[in-house]
A and B are shown apart, each in its own frame.
Chain A
Amino acid sequence: MAPRLSAAATPLAPVVDACLVQSCKSKSAPFVRSFSSTPCQQKMSRARQQMYQWLKGREGSEFADPKGGPRYLGPLQDQPFPLNPLFRSQPVLDEHTRELIWDKVMGRGESLKAVSAEMGVDVRRVAAVVRLKEVEKQWQREGKKLATPYAKAVMSMLPKTYYREGEKNLPHEPVNEIHVHKLTMQQLFVPVSESRHFTREDAAKAFHDTMLSVDARSPQPELINMEREILEGKSRQESLAKFKEATQKEEDKVARRIVQEQQREEKATTRVTTDRYEFRFKEINADDVGRNGRSRKGTGWRYGAPFDDRKRGLVKIPTSVP
């Protein structure tokens, strides 16, 4: 291959010699050679100068080494982007609160929905916190090293919500948030007589026949029932106990169903263990492939049916990981 240097440039030999000499001179220094042949600018441009002025100034140095607590660019305290007041850095759950959630669910055996309602944290978040904490505990049991310095630094930079047991706490986030349904994003003009009691159910029906009302789409229907009972005159304690019982029962049901599912699966499979493998046999139905032989339910590859999983133009990236 021809050398990359142009003919006009200095011949190669002296350069190599120089490099050799240099490398002999200082063993520790790596082989340094610039990629660019254009000379670097003698002066810093004005814009660059200004940048360094700001970075080294009061404001810039505050960001370079923060004094603890969140610090953002925006004019508002929790606004990371100066131009976008519509995005805010919202607080995250602090370490103790996450530990408490884990303890409530795994230690004291409270239901996810009850913990969610009590602490003002979304049910999905409660479940996620418990899941992540479980992994953390497993790591600790295995003696795996956690990323503690990283976690400490990150948590000190983020705004946090604290939950203190037995005190009055602000909720972390709304627990009963409803997605705005596509069908409800249109404007409707529904003439209704003035005397008619037009409720949320009626409004949902007006949008679409199968549309469910907000109450039916709520992730916390038991909580709504509880509040309703309280308004009807029951004591808060009594209805809270009832709410907890109802949610507990529901979760137990789900757990039982999962166990049953597993048992059924286990029953259907025959395991044969050899010294190298464990073979698992399952009964299959040849009719599962359907009329054209291409049904998703079918087992195995059928003669003549195209198997598209390696075809060009088909996306191979998985859409879900079980």
Chain B
Amino acid sequence: MGNGTGIELKLRQSWNKYNLYNLYRQTGREPQIRGTPTFFQQKWAAKAKTRSYHGEHIPEKKWVRLFSRRLLSAVDMPPEYLAAHDGSEQAAGRGSGLTTSNVTAETFSKVPALSTQERSRRRPLFGDVNKLLSDQFNNMTPYMQMTFAPLERRLDTAVFRALFASSVRQARQFVIHGAVTVNGKKMVHPSYQLNPGDMFQVDIEKVMYGTGVQKAADAHKRLHENLEARQKKADKALQNAVKKLGGNATAEQAAVEGETEGEKPEAEAEAAEGEAAATEDAGSLTPEAQWKLNNRALKFLLKDVKKILKNNPKELSAKEKKQLRLFRADAKRFLSHPEKSEADVVELIDELQLQMKSHELMRESFEKLDLKEGQAQSQVEDGAEAEAIEATSKEAEAQPAVNREREVEKGLEGLSDEQKTKAKKIIGDAKLSKEEMRKLARLLQMDEENPVDDSKPYATPWRPRPYMSAFAFIPRYLEVNPNICAAVYLRHPVARKGMAEVPTPFSYLTSQLTHNWYLERG
């Protein structure tokens, strides 16, 4: 009413941007009084305005039945005050018109006061009726703002207030679709009146859908393209490596390689299987050739990761995040997990670590070839020690690793010095320090928490929808645990000195007129 365009602007219980803009430009303000609107007209306008926000999906008849003229409020009575005074000091000396003490319960209160710090100062609107009242706000209990308190008891409104849905209508849909439980029992009535102590819980998938960014049609097309390209590249690199090594190898191994080549077309169709086959083939190579193959694969794997690990894990760019995801897919392939497997991050990292460790031990064996026998022994012990520190539980696995290292040492005895130096040069790129490994694990864990998943109905990785922060507040009558998307309705909303708990975008004057309308006293 009265915005000049002839269109009735309404505020809604919703997080959308139109609503945000309407809130910003103070759509719900009391209009400047022109002419002589009657009290009835003012009340009507106020009621229409407030009802379009508070339960516009509820028929008027039902709301009228819910309306209660008994507005709840509470007073803070600090125990210190109640212990120190029995209340008689309030009356003392009043008879003679004296005020002998200024002791009140409020002076004992330690609860932090509401902020009075202004963020921005906007030019006050001309003829702002609300301004006249606002001076007294800090000293009164705003009962009128509690007019719509009975609606806050409704299940759908509570779900919305607990930030589990982006609008009341969505919350209502969640309830009707059976995604909400009250005290562990499915509740399909959005108008269920919560009782103090009731716990309601919303399906987390629904919450993520309601509060997350909407899914675009081909959001992860690029990522999938990249993944495919990467897989091809990895296959090619492996093929090349095998071919190269085949040149040095004996005829026997060449035959094995031939088999590998033969398998390749199949491997491209089913990458994981092919990869496994390739590694198996590599197993039949000499230890040296196997090591080289492994080295190549590791180098390829860790190419981008090294760069990522140098940065702050909290401030990864979109590209780096993508690289991390690609790395994960690669690592799965490298460790010959099936592509679709739901491998745990911890598992993945552990395996990778084991791989690297055995790789590292092989490197040490190269170095040892230059050194004397005794020193080599001590290094083996060092390696064992490092392992013991890193994970005591893996001691059983460490033993075969050491065994393998001995085997490798035996196999590499025939290597020339030239080859050894070359190998050492390569190794530098194919290892991660313990610290880097830990960091990588953390990064992958973070990615695991919020993964890319096309099967979800919302954009993944999950992000809060735009403009959510302006609406993010949880009133005190709810206790919310966002981790499990559950909340407890502690008590009915109350008014206190200087503040009412019912979230309403309207000024005191508007609420007052509305309350008067529903009192039905002319």
A residues apposed to B, CB below 8 Å: 47, 51, 54-55, 59-60, 63-66, 70-78, 80-90, 92, 98, 120, 122, 124-125, 128-129, 131-133, 135-136, 139, 145-151, 153-155, 157-158, 170-171, 173-180, 182, 192, 194, 197-201, 203, 214-215, 218, 220, 223-228, 230-231, 317-322
Contact = CB atoms under 8 A, between A and B. Distances in A.
8 A-B pairs with least C-beta separation: A227-B83, A89-B473, A200-B87, A128-B488, A151-B482, A157-B472, A132-B481, A174-B76
Given A78-B114, A81-B23, A224 B83 contact: yes
Contact of A135 (B83, B120, B134, B486): B486
Contact of B469 (A55, A71, A147, A214): A71
B91 A147 contact: no
A100 B505 CA distance: 35
A76 B192 contact: no
A147 B207 contact: yes
Q: Tell which of B137, B145, B187, B488 has the most Cβ of chain A within 10 Å.
A: B488
Q: Tell which of B87, B122, B491 has the most Cβ of chain A within 10 Å.
A: B87
A110 to B, nearest CB: 18
A135 B484 contact: yes
- Chain B contact-residue range equals 35 or more
Given A146-B484, A150-B482, A321-B185, A80 B74 contact: no
B484 A149 contact: no
A51 B211 CA distance: 23
B411 interface: no
6 contacts: A55-B17, A81-B505, A131-B199, A147-B204, A174-B109, A317-B189
Q: Tell which of A84, A176, A318 has the most Cβ of chain B within 10 Å.
A: A84
Interface string B97-138: 000000000000111101111111110000000100010010
A318 B192 contact: yes
Nearest to B474: A92
A74 B505 CA distance: 10
Interface string B436-455: 00000000000001100000
Nearest to A214: B77
Nearest to B163: A154
A197 B74 contact: no
Nearest to A147: B204
A153 B358 CA distance: 41
Nearest to B475: A90
Nearest to B83: A227
B83 A133 contact: no
A87 B510 CA distance: 14
Contacts of B182: 321
Contacts of B199: 128, 131-132
A88 B75 contact: no
A86 B498 contact: yes
Contact of B483 (A148, A199, A321): A148
B193 interface: yes
Given A75-B118, A87-B503, A177-B74, A170 B474 contact: no
A171 B110 contact: yes
A86 B497 CA distance: 9
A171 B111 contact: yes
Given A124-B490, A319-B193, 19 more contacts: A55-B21, A60-B21, A65-B466, A70-B473, A73-B24, A77-B117, A78-B114, A84-B506, A132-B488, A147-B208, A147-B482, A150-B482, A158-B473, A170-B111, A178-B75, A179-B74, A199-B87, A218-B79, A218-B82
Contacts of B122: 75
B480 interface: yes
Contacts of B507: 83-84
Given A83-B29, A147-B208, A180 B73 contact: yes
A176 B78 contact: yes
A228 B467 contact: no
A129 B21 CA distance: 35
Contacts of B487: 132
A73 B84 contact: no
Contacts of A157: 464, 468-469, 472
Contacts of A71: 469-470
Contacts of B80: 227
B207 A76 contact: no
A75 B121 CA distance: 7
Interface in B130-175: 130, 134, 137, 142, 145, 163
A174 B76 CA distance: 6
A155 B469 CA distance: 10
A132 B199 CA distance: 8
Given A86-B498, A176-B76, A81 B463 contact: no
B482 A321 contact: no
B77 A178 contact: yes
Nearest to A190: B91
Nearest to A157: B472
Given A81-B504, A170-B112, A147 B483 contact: yes
B20 interface: yes
A226 B79 CA distance: 9
Contacts of B246: none
A297 B142 CA distance: 43
Contacts of B185: 321
Contact of B506 (A47, A72, A83, A199): A83
Contacts of B79: 175-176, 218, 220, 223-224, 226-227
Contact of A199 (B86, B197, B469, B470): B86
B450 A148 contact: yes
A51 B82 contact: no
B137 A63 contact: no
A150 B211 contact: yes
A154 to B, nearest CB: 5
Contact of A174 (B95, B111, B208): B111
